[in-house]
Amino acid sequence: MSDFSDWGDDRWILHIDLNAFYASVEEIRYPKLRNRPMAVCGDPEKRHGIVLAKNNLAKKAGVKTAQPLWEARLLSPDIVFLPADMESYIAYSRKAREIYYSYSDMFEPFGIDEGWLDVTGSVRLFGNGFEIAEKIRREIKEKLDLTVSIGVSYNKIFAKLGSDYKKPDATTVFSKKDFKSTVWEIDVSELLFVGRATTKKLNGMGIYTIGDLALCDRKILESKFGKVGGQLWSYANGFDRSAVRTVGKEYAPIKSVGNSTTTPRDLLTNEEVKETLYMLSDSVASRLRDSGFRAQTVEIWMRGNDLNGFVRQRKIDSPTCLSRKIAETAYSLFLENYDLTRRLPLRSVGVRAKDLSPLYGETQTDLFMNEATRMKLENLAFAVDRMRRKYGYHSIMTGIEMRDPSLPVISPEDSRKKGAGMYDLTPQR
């Protein structure tokens, strides 16, 4: 594997995947958990009951991602469940990316824990792609106490296959010269963008491996799957030439701020929904102010106890960071789109503020609120923020938050600890 003299002018593309990322970060924070089966999950007391990530001992016991917690407990009776801590995961992700950027500035994230790195322009400085991958793998382990699996190839699709091929803590190379003897033997379900439904259809056509897909008539695939069929055929044959799309060294600018909750019991009345929306909106507004933004679009999402849901949004008259304005808009959207007397009770509710603008920039005048009133309300909100920072979030609560003690009191701090979606950091293409 050390002789890459025939690589020629092909690109060197790495796909780097932080192994069992959430669980690995928790093992750094709580070293004793390295000797116990452990899984990162939602809050079982509030029905967020699925496994988000698991450590190696839990994996050996048969625990799988997205598995209900009760099933995981049957497989591993002594398993430890931890709530997700997204702030810690983002912090470690940033540290890992700083290491990647020391080898190349061409990095494309593929989630918080993986992404592609084009090191074609760096080989004269650091060695070939395999050597760079090995350096990154050692550096991640030494500096962060994490392990990564890295795929090295001449295109993004095969690099992704390589990082999945051998785990944990491994580097796998798929070259143009030998990929037919390696890649083509892999199950077709492992190819990027081939999901369960597509796998089932391909199996029905007698296609079980990536090689089967590559050798199939492209026109037959296109007649069955449309343009996607031709694209998958190109991927299987190693014809992918897509570029590593860089987004810069920092996470993309915040695009939205949101919060959601799965309630301890189903919401049966409009008043219960209203109370939940107001608590969520208070948390979202606090985050907006803390991040230095106002928002001009309010979005809600609702999910019934049959797990079916919907999303609705509305643009408001002028940007705001006030919880009451966000809550009123959210509740209005709910009333217009969901009738609890005719439809199923609600299980999950979310509020998101979008179309952000700087808090201290110019503000469009609100036709229904004069500037003096707006400033007074914002100053009051900032005063509440200061009090909550000093004495705790729950030291000041609105009346609506205290109506029903059986519903959760939601705060930004609680959401950070439990991994709720605080910010939308999706890279802007």
pLDDT for res 63: 95
With a cut of 60, say whether residue 361 has pLDDT above it: no
- pLDDT, mean of residues 337-360: 86
Q: Is the CB of residue 103 less than 8 Å from the CB of residue 136? A: yes
pLDDT at position 356 over 90: no
Share of the chain above pLDDT 90, in %: 55
Q: Lowest mean pLDDT: which of 134-138, 185-189, 213-217, 411-415? A: 411-415
H or E stretch covering 355:
strand 346-358
* Residue 59 amino acid letter: K
DSSP letter (8 states) at residue 392: -
Answer whether residue 375 shows pLDDT above 90. no
d(C-alpha 363, C-alpha 295), whole Å:
11
Through-space distance between the first and last CA atoms of the chain, rounded to whole angstroms: 36
Q: What pLDDT was estimated at residue 129?
A: 97
- Is the pLDDT at 180 greater than 60? The verdict is yes
Cis, peptide link before residue 168, omega less than 30° from 0: yes
Q: What is the pLDDT of residue 118?
A: 97
The model's pLDDT over 142-168, given as tens digits with 9 standing for 90+, comes to: 999 999 999 999 999 999 999 999 999
Tell me what the mean pLDDT of segment 265-278 comes to: 90
3-state class (DSSP) for residue 130: helix
Structure tokens at 85: 């801590």
Residue 90 has pLDDT above 80, yes or no: yes
**Could you give the 3-state DSSP secondary structure of residue 19?**
coil
Least confident interval from 124-133, 181-190, 308-317, 394-403 = 394-403
Assess whether pLDDT exceeds 50 at residue 47. no
Q: Across the chain, what does the average pLDDT equal?
A: 84
Residues 6+ apart with CB under 8 A from 233: 213, 214, 216, 218, 221
* Structural domains of the chain in order of their starting residue, each with its CATH number: 1-177 (3.30.70.270), 178-250 (1.10.150.20), 256-424 (3.30.1490.100)
pLDDT of residue 367 exceeding 70, the answer is: no
Active site residues: 114
Q: What is the DSSP letter of 187?
A: B
Q: What is the pLDDT of residue 428?
A: 30
Listing DSSP states for 286-337 in one string gives HHHHHHTEEEEEEEEEEEETTS-EEEEEEEEEEEE--HHHHHHHHHHHHHHH
Phi, psi of 173, rounded to the nearest 5 degrees: -110, 130
Q: Is the pLDDT of residue 45 over 70?
A: no
Give the pLDDT band (50/70/90) at residue 360: low
Q: What stretch of H or E contains 108?
A: strand 107-109
For residue 369, the 8-state DSSP code is S
